[in-house]
Amino acid sequence: AQSVTQPDIHITVSEGASLELRCNYSYGATPYLFWYVQSPGQGLQLLLKYFSGDTLVQGIKGFEAEFKRSQSSFNLRKPSVHWSDAAEYFCAVGPNFGNEKLTFGTGTRLTIIP
């Protein structure tokens, strides 16, 4: 069965500092991987996705993620965070052949301090 682990429940970063959010997955085939962001009171917005090809993918809002098959990881990075990046971030993997289900991690809450 596929699964996603986000080991950090809560991360606090100073504005302007770099950010890395961790995501590890378990999946039986070549995974499709996603990062979503949820601002307070909002639904989920797609930041970026990996399907195939270049293992470093660029997303919106200055985010990037790197797929590392050997480590089963898909970590999200940003070189310099802004106060507006404070949100909850979800990593997801899937879908399976025959259905379109995604499996989500439990999320990482990001707090930005001035």
Q: Which residues bind other proteins (CB under 8 A)?
A: 6, 9, 32, 34, 36, 41-46, 49, 51, 90, 95-102, 104-107
CB of 16 to other proteins, least distance (A): 28
Would you say 15 or 88 has its CB closer to other proteins? Answer: 88
Would you say 18 or 111 has its CB closer to other proteins? Answer: 111
Sign of the alpha-carbon dihedral angle for 107, 15, 72, 97 = positive
CB of 34 to other proteins, least distance (A): 6
Would you say 15 or 22 has its CB closer to other proteins? Answer: 22
* CA 1/CA 26 separation, integer angstroms: 8
CB of 17 to other proteins, least distance (A): 25
* Cβ proximity of 81 and 18 under 8 Å: yes
* CA 76/CA 67 separation, integer angstroms: 9
CB of 7 to other proteins, least distance (A): 13
What is the token pair recorded at 12?
A: 């606090």
Would you say 41 or 114 has its CB closer to other proteins? Answer: 41
Burial class (CB in 10 A: 0-12, 13-18, 19+), 72: middle
